[in-house]
Amino acid sequence: MAQTNSHTHPIQSVESASPRDVPGAKGGTGGTQAPKAGAGIEHLVALYRQMFLIRRIEEEAARAYAQGKIGGFLHLYIGQEAVGVGAMAALQPDDYVITTYRDHGIALAKGMSPNALMAELWGKGTGCSKGLGGSMHMFDKATNMLGGYGIVGGHIPLAAGVAFASKYRNDKRVTLCFFGEGAVSIAGFHEGVSLAALWKLPIVFICENNEYSMGTPMSRTMSVEDVTSKAVGYGIPSDRFFADDVLEVEERIRQAVDRARETSMPTLVEVRTYRFRGHSMSDPAKYRTAAELEDRKKKDPVIRTRAKLLSEGYEEKRIEALEAEVEAEVMAAVKFAEESPEPDPSLLEATTYDGPFAS
């Protein structure tokens, strides 16, 4: 790496920005290195596979939702795949992850099985949360996926608590906490980040800024359209960049993860991204223009990564073979969900309390 990364105090260190940096971005390394030959390209292939899996799972979920097989709210991650996949690539397996209701891609990237995810969407007993949580509440203890949460910003203090436990036990684990830019307005954000900064907890706060909170563009929710400017007030490092390239996401998040692991210093990261669908399946997204959407789709991270693989000399037929493999995995997950049993009513009490029911 050419540059050291910044900044206990972000405003002191304006470093040379890569073309992908958000205007006004502070810090970061600038630029992505091309994947190295051999092992390098296999790594990019692995990231592509995950992104493609997430894309295809969610396309099938959208179809199932339209057929009434999935109920409630369904918030898709389509368009944002590079964030979750890139960030997770920077983690050790036993690091912790926690996020919002837009959680499918994060859960899969953390290692949740497609079967458990799909069955949860179907509300089946074989789902990751036994069909009790649904789309917004993907939990998987085995992979340290600490869940998706439905109250905006409510999980941010929890994330700080998880990192507190890591510091308490000195287990060298890092917590990644994802949220949208809409969450930055709510008290839970301030209180969670503020305490994490005060107590120097090993955590990375990742704001996935997809420019809209529900139907509201960020210009109407933030007085300063730069989430990382808040880091100054907490005295923690920050980073800010576009999620066009999954390897760059990995690289930039890795710096924050390393900092958390080595020095127990939290970082506030703002990753600029875009969702191609509405806020949820019931949102026709009339608040943005078709031209804007088309423009953003030109940067589709899944297509870009595929193109990059090709330009790096990876054979198309190997990509196709991999895609066919993912396709089979996705369809198997749909079948698994379809054929799984409904959860038993006896679960209701048993999951409300541990031990005897306290009525």
Partner 1 sequence: MARNIRFREALREAMIEEMERDDRVFLMGEEVGHYQGAYKVSEGMLDKFGDKRVIDTPIAEGGFAGIGIGAAMVGLRPIVEFMTWNFSAVAFDQILNNAAKLRQMSGGQFNCPIVFRGPNASAKQVGSQHSHAMEHFYATIPGIKVVAPAYPADAKGLMKAAIRDDNPVLVMESETLYSVKGDVPDDQDAIPFGKANVVRQGTDLTLVAYSRMTLVAMEAAAALEKEGISVEVVDLRSLRPLDEDTIVDSVEKTHRCVVVHEGFPYGGVGAEVADRIQRLAFDALDAPVLRVTTLDVGMPYNAKLEQLCIPQPDRVIAAAKRVLYRGQA
214 binding partner 1? (CB under 8 A): yes
Site for partner 1 in 219-248 (CB under 8 A): 220-222
Q: What is the DSSP letter of 346?
A: T
Q: Say whether 232 sits in a helix, a strand or coil.
A: helix
149 binding partner 1? (CB under 8 A): yes
Question: How far apart are CB 195 and partner 1 at their closest, in Å?
Answer: 17
102 binding ligand TPP? (CB under 6 A): yes
Sign of the dihedral defined by the CA atoms of residues 125, 126, 132, 136, in that order: negative
Residue closer to partner 1, measured from CB, 286 or 298: 286
Alpha carbon distance 10, 219 (integer Å): 23
Site for partner 1 in 157-196 (CB under 8 A): 182-183, 185-188
Place of tokens 């050291």: 4
Residue closer to ligand TPP, measured from CB, 187 or 321: 187
CA dihedral 55, 88, 308, 104 (to 10 degrees): 10
140 Cβ contact partners less than 8 Å away, ≥ 6 residues apart: 107, 110, 111, 112, 116, 128
Residue closer to ligand TPP, measured from CB, 211 or 245: 211
**Burial environment of residue 108 by CB neighbours within 10 A (0 to 12, 13 to 18, 19 or more):** buried
72 binding partner 1? (CB under 8 A): yes
Q: Among 57, 87, 146, 183, which residue sits at the site for ligand TPP (rule: CB under 6 A)?
A: 183
29-37, 210-218, 223-231, 327-335 -> range binding ligand TPP (CB under 6 A): 210-218
Q: Say whether 213 sits in a helix, a strand or coil.
A: strand
72 binding ligand TPP? (CB under 6 A): no
Q: Among 124, 173, 240, 272, which residue sits at the site for partner 1 (rule: CB under 8 A)?
A: 124
Pairing of strands 267-272, 203-209: parallel
Give residues in contact with ligand TPP (CB under 6 A).
102, 150-152, 180-183, 210, 212-214, 279
